Amino acid sequence: MKNICVIGTGYVGLVNGTCFADLGNNVITVDIDENKIAALKRGEMPIYEPGLKEIVERNVKAGRLKFTTSYAEGLKDAEFVFICVGTPEGVDGEADLKYVRAAAETIAKTMDHPLIVINKSTVPVGTGDWVADIIRKNQPKPIDFSVVSCPEFLREGSAVADFMQTDRTVLGSLDQHAAEAVAQLYLPLRAPIVMTDLRTAEMIKYASNAFLATRLSFINEISIICEKLGADVIEVAQGMGFDKRIGHHFLQAGVGYGGSCFPKDVAALAHMAQTHGMHPQLLHAVMEINAFQRKHVALKLHDLLDGSLKGKTIGVLGLAFKENTDDIRESPALAIITHLLEQGAIVKAYDPVAMENALEEIPAINGCADPYEVAKDADALVIATPWNEFKQLDMVRIRDMMKTPILLDGRNIYEPRIMQSLGFTYRGVGRGYDGAGNSQPGD
């Protein structure tokens, strides 16, 4: 049993702190947001993440997990302190490190015994050295500490499972003993542990996310080619994936990637390369394709609705950037909706858990209580997030409630021939046929 302090109660901090407590450690999670800590103490979750609330409640009840706004309380008996604060995208694509700086400075001013500081936030290569310098400069008196980089690889919507069943743990440090001590925390997970230096560990995180984003942009570009040539991108991806060198993961064509990681991490890596005199052509292409994929949806609607969206009522199912989360950061759905509103459309929408967040971001959205209300009198319906409940809708009822049965399936959750047999004018992503073997003219 170890004493662990976690700074930050976002996705990374709350999930890591809770899971470490579930492994039998004593964990105190610190956040300067008094309202968030008060809510956590009442058992209210600041994020939607399947299974997390139950694990939080179990470990709070067992006395292994506590929440506080006090760094002094959090660091009092800590052996390890994890920095799990946000690193939002800056003006030029760079990672904004103000929260990391604030955490490092406060740790330095508060610590009264040796600590191992683990950077869990996604940070530019070289940040581990920078954090060490900040702590060293802000200590009232010299106290030994070590910095370890341990990048996170959690996916929103499956973060608890990703922690407990991780593919690997990456640890980077100039202090081998510190890295080995952190490795002991992860041994119960029985996953490979990669030991390296600080900068390499930081780069592994960026390279991993950039590669996954590249796969998504690749298959999205292929999907547009499929539409022009009359091929089916789903079958193309399946055929490709049987090649063991390629695999099936992250080859699902859709409306583009979003969320808190891929967009900012690809941009940050490109920015790092540019500041060192390089021209990251592939990374720029990945971002350009992703941006176009969202616009492509609106262009399809434009063609399907006789060249104009003005005054047309468009229903949108799904607002979160992916299923099983309430996170709307860089959500393709919101990007599509913004374009529709700019073109004069009226937008109705529904999401099982992200409605409140989305309406705060775009008040012009007409929020609905369920998918059927969205479909009522709609000129077209867009599937923007692949929630399971959307896969089981009464599509005959949906069709009958719409003004015109135009269905734009941005996540390819329906079979084109079935939807067309029900009377829908159906368009998917990369489904380059109309159900009768004919390519889609104009797409």
Q: Which phi and psi (to 5°) does residue 28 adopt?
A: -120, 125
| Residue 261 falls in the annotated catalytic set | yes
Q: In what order do the strands lie in the sheet with 313-317?
A: 366-367, 346-350, 313-317, 380-383, 406-409, 425-427
Distance CA 313, CA 309 (A): 8
Rounded to 10 degrees, the C-alpha dihedral 343/348/354/358 comes to 40
Contacts of 86 (CB under 8 A, 6+ apart): 8, 10, 99, 121, 260
Residue with tokens 């640890």: 171
Q: What ranges in 371-412 are assigned the alpha helix state H?
A: 371-375, 395-401
- Identify the DSSP state of 431: B
Helix axes 98-110, 127-138, angle to 10 degrees: 40
Q: Which of 5, 84, 261, 368 is catalytic?
A: 261
Distance CA 304, CA 100 (A): 48
Determine the 3-state secondary structure of 351 from DSSP: coil
**Closest listed residue to residue 293, CA positions, set 441, 443, 429:** 429
Residue 237, Cα to own-chain centre: how many angstroms?
23
List active site positions: 261
